[in-house]
Amino acid sequence: MPWQIIVFIRVIIGHIVAPVLYKKATQTKSDLEKLIWWQFLFCLTLSVGYGLIFGFTFKSEILLVAIIGFFNSFGCYCQWQAVKINLAKASLFTQADDIIAVLLGYLILHETKYLNTALGFGVIGCFLAASILISAKFSENMRLIKYIGIYSVIWGVASFLDRYFALQSIPFSEFLIGWYGGSFIGISFFLLREGRLVVKAPKNEIALVAGLSIFVWLSKLLGYWGANLVPITIFQPIYLVTEAIFPTLTGLHIFHEYKTLEFKEKLAIALGLASIIAITVSYY
């Protein structure tokens, strides 16, 4: 199947459908950690089922995937917290993970030799937009940026490693089981440390997370599939712009988050979108 179709489907699933379900999940009454535990349980179950159908062989590389998955559980928690605060603002500034992934592709995998002016202006614009955002509603937006910064670093490295693992020919089933196995262990470890591995939740909330998990799992599968087909500097810029624009519009218009924005926040969003366009253009 052409890589463009894989990327297109992932954009629909991961950047249009999933953000709506994420926002709905963060509006429930249960603790986010409980719902994340259920998400990773469902995703791990899907991964094991995939492995049983298509075959699974334990390899040493799977331990490295599991370690990254372990840290992903914390990144996921930070993402849920950011979405709970404001989906539009969180989505707009989530491009940091894509920038990190592509820069690692430049520096380590040598998948392109060109770092140009447009990229520099785009990155500077993103930092300025973040600074403007923080200056408005300092306490709320500083907490938001903190969450975004944490999961952006984790997911930027993870996105780069998707491509690295693909180049190492780690099969889909091993990758998915390692990733979600590590993630499930990570969130379970966190809850155990807090002395509250009690994951009871209303059935309707578990059903919502089950639906979300299917889309999250498919998005990860398609993302790894794409990483097997083309260099990171080809597909990641597409994810960068779609991950910023579609969920931002969803938050602003479907969940009416535009009503809470001050002038400085609107200015930050406008500058952020312009910066994203500059960064995306720089890759091609």
| Average pLDDT score over the chain | 86
The closest of 185, 158, 161 to 40, measured between CA atoms, is 185
CB 88 within 8 A of CB 259: no
Q: How far is residue 18's CA from residue 224's CA, in Å, rounded to a whole number? A: 17
Mean pLDDT of 66-90: 93
The closest of 157, 154, 170, 151 to 105, measured between CA atoms, is 157
| Rg of the chain taking only CA atoms, in angstroms | 18
Mean pLDDT of 108-128: 69
Return the structure tokens found at 169.
Answer: 């020919």
What tens digit of pLDDT does each residue of 4-53 get?
999 999 999 999 999 999 999 999 988 898 899 999 999 999 999 999 99
Return the structure tokens found at 280.
Answer: 């995306």
Whole-number pLDDT of residue 283? 58
| Helix axis angle, 61-85 to 18-26, nearest 10° | 70
Whole-number pLDDT of residue 112? 55
Lowest mean pLDDT among 73-77, 111-115, 178-182: 111-115
Q: How far is residue 133's CA from residue 96's CA, in Å, rounded to a whole number? A: 15
**pLDDT surpasses 70 at 198:** no
- Domain residues of the chain, as ranges? 3-282
Measured in degrees and rounded to the nearest 5, phi and psi for residue 195 equal 70, 30
Residue type, 253: H
What tens digit of pLDDT does each residue of 58-67 get?
777 789 899 9
What tens digit of pLDDT does each residue of 229-270 get?
888 777 777 887 788 788 888 998 889 888 888 898 889 888
Whole-number pLDDT of residue 93? 78
Does residue 44 sit in helix, strand or coil? Answer: helix
Whole-number pLDDT of residue 119? 67
Mean pLDDT of 134-163: 86
Whole-number pLDDT of residue 284? 57
The closest of 79, 100, 76 to 183, measured between CA atoms, is 76
Highest mean pLDDT among 113-127, 185-199, 247-261: 247-261
Residue type, 271: L
Whole-number pLDDT of residue 39? 97
Q: How far is residue 225's CA from residue 163's CA, in Å, rounded to a whole number? A: 9
